[in-house]
Amino acid sequence: MEAGQGKSLATLVANIEKLEITGSSDVTIQSLILDSRKVTTGSLFIALRGTQTDGHQFIATAVKAGATAILCEELPDQISSDVTYVKAADSAQVMGLIASTFYGNSSEKLTLVGVTGTNGKTSVATFLFQLFRNLGYRCGLLSTVQNQVEDEVIPSTHTTPDAIALNHLLATMLEKGCSHVFMEVSSHAVAQHRISGLHFAGGIFTNITHDHLDFHKTFDNYIKAKKGFFDQLPKSAFALVNVDDRRGSVMVQNTNARVETYSLQTLATYKGKMISDTLAGMHMEINMREVWFRVIGRFNAYNLLAVYGAAVLLGEDPEVVLTELSILKSPPGRFEQFHSADHIVGIVDYAHTPDALENVLQTITELRNGNEKVITVVGCGGNRDAEKRPKMAAIACKFSNRVILTSDNPRFEDPNDILAQMQKGVPPLDYKKTSVIEDRKEAIFTAYSEAGPGDIILIAGKGHENYQDIKGVKHHFDDKEILIEAFGNYPKS
Ligand SMILES: CC(=O)N[C@H]1[C@@H](OP(=O)(O)OP(=O)(O)OC[C@H]2O[C@@H](n3ccc(=O)[nH]c3=O)[C@H](O)[C@@H]2O)O[C@H](CO)[C@@H](O)[C@@H]1O[C@H](C)C(=O)N[C@@H](C)C(=O)N[C@H](CCC(=O)O)C(=O)O
Ligand SMILES: Nc1ncnc2c1ncn2[C@@H]1O[C@H](COP(=O)(O)OP(=O)(O)OP(=O)(O)O)[C@@H](O)[C@H]1O
Ligand SMILES: N[C@H](CCC[C@H](N)C(=O)O)C(=O)O
Ligand SMILES: [Mg+2]
């Protein structure tokens, strides 16, 4: 059965239980479509209950546009006699199963490893992708920064794509000869069943801290979403968890997978120890072997341990893995360093959660030799978890000599409202060292103008992003470009 080619509805729903089918299953489905505006003749339109609207409202539009079949949770009042209706308790979950079959169950033919956790998913998935390519495998990557099939870059719209795009990408990867695929599994993806129907060879848990409560509402729901990934792993898979995170053991409470652990603090299958950390590199001990890495920071020590563990669990030789890991570089916008002519260090980092910001600033604090100043430029995104705003400002103040609060992606919010919420987290004693410069470019330029030789400027929150999302329009904006432009202002007038 060829992936992505027209298939009979009967085949697509063959192994799915508890469906009520109205009309004939003996029809050919040419495409799976989530958005009524994209329906064409032969489509199966999937009606999902979303966060903004209910896809069920668009069933009639989809039928008018030529849909052959509809997957829904509730039948519309008006049934069309030449359309087949498939009624399921949960359209999103069934969509995953159907998408998997439509695209040839590619995940079963690939070695697919998923990474979940609040921070470190992109880093771990990208390191695994780079490592396995260096080991000689053809690989695919699904990440926040970009999707990749070997050297070919496919822009990503989400951390984890929807089930249709996801299964389509996996089929492309298989077609192009990939044997291994490394992907991020976001909590949204688990909650919305974007990964339902996928066959994983392994799952990795990095950590869980405050984020996305706008979507999950409670921390408990957020934990449950992440745990849902491990609950659905098969017996043949491994579940590799960071046991230094106290939720690590919760994640694997009900998993059928083989549980393995990694840690910098306690006994674990993969045990690491930091020996030293400098701007030039990190020295670690991993399972009694000493290694130097190019990437730095305690958070990366965790990421490298996870990658090492996963590679060994996938059958790779530990010595070879460590040698290959030692030369890896951080993914774009993850602790990326820039050096000015007047010896100022600029670090562009995607820290957009309180925990990530604290880790990055903690790492910078540990890297300081003496009296260098740390200047932090940071903002928070609009239409996202508002609770993290004052927390991130407080963390920036705690670890920096100077803080410039600025705009991130305001989306549909007023950036000044976001900044006012951030300011609530600034302790009164830190008012003097904190200022608000809404214009992000001006904020970065100001940071450089105030810095002296040896000082470190951290620009946090946007990392690899090359846009600023203002009222739904993405304007070109790249922290790295602006930093380099600012560094070009040397000598300072
Ligand atoms: C909150 C969230 O996850 N939203 C995702 C969700 O959209 P939604 O639930 O808001 O959809 P909706 O607008 O209510 O519409 C409901 C349904 O009606 C359909 N519709 C709508 C209008 C119409 O005319 N016709 C029609 O058929 C829509 O196609 C949809 O299927 O389903 C859409 C289709 O799959 C996603 O594109 C969309 O991602 C939005 C853009 C998004 O920003 N998501 C972020 C929050 C996200 O998913 N982030 C995670 C995690 C990031 C991290 O960990 O840091 C990620 O994996 O990227
Ligand atoms: N293991 C880790 N623990 C804590 N913080 C980390 C870890 N790895 C990276 N970070 C910090 O978090 C930021 C985001 O890292 P990364 O992009 O790898 O995470 P992510 O989980 O993919 O994020 P997203 O949810 O946006 O996809 C980094 O720029 C760094 O500041
Ligand atoms: N995947 C995260 C990225 C946040 C990045 C930050 N720059 C922001 O815009 O809030 C999200 O969509 O919540
Ligand atoms: Mg990511």
- Residue 38 Cβ inside 6 Å of ligand 1? The answer reads no
- Nearest bound ligand to CA 378? 3
Measured CA to CA, the distance from residue 59 to residue 79 in angstroms comes to 10
192 annotated as ligand-binding: yes
Distance CA 155, CA 361 (A): 30
pLDDT digits (tens, 9 = 90+) for 255-313: 999 999 999 999 999 999 999 998 889 999 999 999 999 999 999 999 999 999 999 99
6 is in an annotated binding site: no
**What are the chain's domains?**
7-102 (3.40.1390.10), 106-325 (3.40.1190.10), 336-487 (3.90.190.20)
Closest C-alpha among 419, 402, 401 to residue 410: 419
365 a known binding residue? no
Task: State the distance from the centre of ligand 4 to the C-alpha of 212, rounded, in angstroms.
Answer: 13
ipTM score of the complex? 0.95
CA of 216 relative to ligand 4 center, distance in Å: 18
d(CA 238, CA 255): 10
Residue 36 CB less than 6 A away from ligand 1: yes
* Pocket of ligand 1 contains residue 189 by CB under 6 Å: yes
What is the whole-number distance in angstroms between the Cα of residue 73 and the centre of ligand 3?
Answer: 31
The string of pLDDT tens digits covering residues 89-117 is: 999 999 999 999 999 999 999 999 999 99
**Does residue 118's CB lie within 6 angstroms of at least one atom of ligand 1?**
no
CA distance between the termini of the chain? 68
Q: What does the pLDDT read at residue 493?
A: 64
Residue 122 marked ligand-binding = yes
Mean pLDDT computed over 439-444: 98
**Structural tokens at position 300:** 């990366």
Q: Is 393 exposed, middle or buried (0-12, 13-18, 19+ CB in 10 A)?
A: buried
- The mean predicted confidence, pLDDT, of the chain is 95
Residues with CB under 6 A from ligand 2: 117, 119-123, 144, 159, 184, 206-207, 299, 302-303, 334, 349-351, 355-356, 359-360, 463
Q: Which ligand is nearest to the CA of 187?
A: 1
Angle at 239 between CA 237 and CA 245, to 5 degrees: 175
Please indicate if the annotation marks 465 as binding a ligand. Answer: yes
Cα(198) to centroid(ligand 2), Å: 24
* pLDDT tens-digit readout, 320-351: 999 999 999 989 999 999 999 999 999 999 99
d(CA 161, CA 95) in angstroms, rounded, equals: 13
121 annotated ligand-binding residue: yes
Mean pLDDT of 407-435: 98
Instruction: Name the percent of the chain lying above pLDDT 70.
Output: 98
Tell me 227's DSSP state: H
Per-residue pLDDT at 184 exceeds 60: yes
Ligand 1 proximity of 162 Cβ (cutoff 6 Å): yes
Q: What is the pTM of this model?
A: 0.92
pLDDT of 211 reads 66
Query: Residue 416 — pLDDT band, cuts 50, 70, 90?
Result: very high
CA 188 to ligand 1 center in whole angstroms: 10
Determine the Cα–Cα distance for residues 399 and 373; give it in Å rounded to an integer.
10
Q: b vs e for 70-81, b when ≥16 Cβ sit within 10 Å of the residue's Cβ?
A: bbbbeebeeeee
Using pLDDT thresholds of 50, 70 and 90, give the confidence band for residue 371: confident
pLDDT digits (tens, 9 = 90+) for 444-492: 999 999 999 999 999 999 999 999 999 999 999 999 999 999 999 877 7
Strands 20-22 and 84-87: antiparallel
* CA neighbor of 310 nearest in space, from 180, 150, 118, 128: 128
**Mean of pLDDT values over 401-417:** 98
> Residues of the chain with pLDDT > 90: what percent?
91
Which tokens go with 93? 């979950």
Distance 381 CA to ligand 3 centre (A): 6
Cα-flanking dihedrals φ and ψ of residue 73, to 5°? -100, -15
pLDDT digits (tens, 9 = 90+) for 373-393: 999 999 999 999 999 999 999
At 185, is the pLDDT very low, low, confident or very high (cuts 50, 70, 90)? very high
